[in-house]
Structure 1
Amino acid sequence: MGTDIRPIIGVTLDSEQPGGYSKYPWYALRTNYSAAIVASGGLPVALPHHADLAEAYLDRIDGLVVTGGAFDVDPSLYGDDGRHATVTLKAGRTAAELALVRGALARNLPVLGICGGQQLLAVVLGGTLIQHIPDTVANALAHEQPNPRHEPGHEVSVVAGTLLHRIVGATTMHVNSAHHQAVRDAGPFAVVDATAPDGVIEGIEDPRYRFCLGIQWHPEFHIDQGDRRIFDALTAACVR
């Protein structure tokens, strides 16, 4: 695909406090997010955390990827009064991503939520989250897998007839796993399209929109052949 016709896909950044890379606050993003978008024919553009500029960003992009990160959505946003001891917040990032996702869906722009991005998407769609899988799901898998993230951690079952199934062309995928939270309820109009063997929700979608997909794993690692197809489908949906 020529660079002159590549759709612009906004990618949310993670935020870090001083230390490591810089003595000052800094943004972070693994390079394989942008590499996966480029390989699919898109033009990735990083989106800093400015909730007040969400509409300006959305004026300029054709689609949105909400990335993962080592933090959690504030439980108060989905109606939980308590907060598990393992929950870590990044209020500025969450505020910016909420504004971007809500604005993108209002415009019917394609949205792909990855890992924590799926959890945020579920909350926007009116769903709720499990705050800590080991305390909630009996006989749960190791969703924070001990092996490297570029290797599969477990399988997921894909529901036939869903958008995800049409994209990946399979009812089983091998995926990595790097999360301690999960979607409890996907929302009143959302559909669960993938689950782990222990019943944990691994994928959601909302058919009210032309492309609204959340996945709990990290397809940017291209572990399963379906992972590339997810990015290809996102980029195709961004072409106006």
Structure 2
Amino acid sequence: MKTKNTRPVIGLTLDCEPAGGWSKMPWYAIRQNYNDAVAAAGGLPMCLPHEPELADAYLDQLDGILVTGGAFDVDPAMFGATSRHSTVTTKDRRTAFELALMKGALARNLPVLGICGGQQLLNVVLGGTLIQHIPDEVQGEIAHEQPNPRTEAGHVVKIAPNTLLHKIIQSGEAAVNSAHHQAVRDVANGVIINATAPDGVIEGIEDPRYRFCLGVQWHPEYHITPADKAIFDALINAAA
């Protein structure tokens, strides 16, 4: 039984790497700024190892979840694709865990925030599809894998009016960083596109059927604008 905490407990999904580099054994990792952003907004960050069969047990302890990004992709078979682009790489156990966690959180109507790859998985869970490699399908001059540091903006996004995201950031535009080669292609019925890049790439989604179900393609944990901080504030407020 979860004891009541004055801070909403937010589960954050870890990345994983095989043996080598930092450790001679397989290891988990997460950028500190994910946790810092949750704590600064008033939440209690809890990092979650990849144990798909324990997803419900984790959720018993949580008030909301944040599915983080990473340098890997959703398996195209998960959204019905019959081919797989040569650039696609997967982390199957991580995805299996995040899938179970996200489905369980939505079934409980817990607040869900998906960031970058987390938005892409959220879209698939909600019934949508993905672009497997943006440079092959989108004409334009925007570098969605920006060459400048992630602590700086790479481009702007247009925020759709009358959406949860617009209500959160109180603006029709936001400057964002960008670190992805895949993106949302189609959304399912009922899912709202709340942000787009100038080249038409979908940068944000939400599902109003849930109390807080939001995905953004950029990385607001860097807090490069007040809009980024507002997203974390909204997650914690929804989880309180």
Q: TM-score of the superposition, structure 2-length normalised?
A: 0.97
Gapped regions of structure 2 (runs ≥ 5)? none
CA deviation after TM superposition for structure 1 residue 55, in Å: 0.4
| Residue number in structure 2 paired with 1:187 | 188
Structure 2 CA distance for partners of 1:182 and 1:92, relative to 1, 3 Å:
same
Q: Does the CA contact (< 8 Å) of 1:182 and 1:200 recur in 2? A: yes
| Residue number in structure 2 paired with 1:59 | 60
| Residue number in structure 1 paired with 2:212 | 211
* One-letter amino acid matched to 2:199: D
Bigger shift: residues 221-230 or 134-143 = 134-143
| Residue number in structure 2 paired with 1:109 | 110
* One-letter amino acid matched to 2:58: Y
Distance 1:100 1:119 in 2: 15
Distance 2:5 2:102 in 1: 26
Q: Aligned ranges for residues 144-155 of structure 1 at < 5 Å?
A: 144-155=145-156
CA deviation after TM superposition for structure 1 residue 186, in Å: 1.9
| Residue number in structure 1 paired with 2:47 | 46
Say yes or no: does 1:162 pair with 2:163. Answer: yes
Runs of 4+ aligned residues of structure 1 deviating over 3 Å after TM superposition are none
> How many equivalent residue pairs?
237
Q: TM-score of the superposition, structure 1-length normalised?
A: 0.97
| Residue number in structure 1 paired with 2:16 | 15
Distance 1:125 1:60 in 2: 24
Q: Deviations over 1:143-191 (max 9, x none)?
A: 0000011110000000011000000000110000000000001222200
Per the alignment, in what secondary structure is the counterpart of residue 202 of structure 1? strand
Distance 1:95 1:188 in 2: 24
Per the alignment, in what secondary structure is the counterpart of residue 58 of structure 2? helix
CA deviation after TM superposition for structure 1 residue 140, in Å: 4.8
| Residue number in structure 2 paired with 1:73 | 74
Gapped regions of structure 1 (runs ≥ 5)? none
Identical amino acids, percent of aligned pairs: 66
| Residue number in structure 1 paired with 2:101 | 100
Distance 2:141 2:26 in 1: 36
Distance 2:174 2:225 in 1: 6
Q: Does the CA contact (< 8 Å) of 1:176 and 1:217 recur in 2? A: yes
CA deviation after TM superposition for structure 1 residue 141, in Å: 1.3
Distance 2:7 2:140 in 1: 45
* One-letter amino acid matched to 2:225: D
Q: Does the CA contact (< 8 Å) of 1:133 and 1:140 recur in 2? A: no
Distance 1:73 1:79 in 2: 11
Distance 2:8 2:182 in 1: 32
| Residue number in structure 2 paired with 1:88 | 89
Q: Deviations over 1:102-129 (max 9, x none)?
A: 0000000000000000000000000000
CA deviation after TM superposition for structure 1 residue 4, in Å: 4.7
Distance 2:184 2:154 in 1: 18
| Residue number in structure 2 paired with 1:233 | 234
| Residue number in structure 1 paired with 2:27 | 26
Q: Does the CA contact (< 8 Å) of 1:134 and 1:140 recur in 2? A: no
Distance 1:155 1:170 in 2: 12
Per the alignment, in what secondary structure is the counterpart of residue 93 of structure 2? helix
Per the alignment, in what secondary structure is the counterpart of residue 5 of structure 1? coil
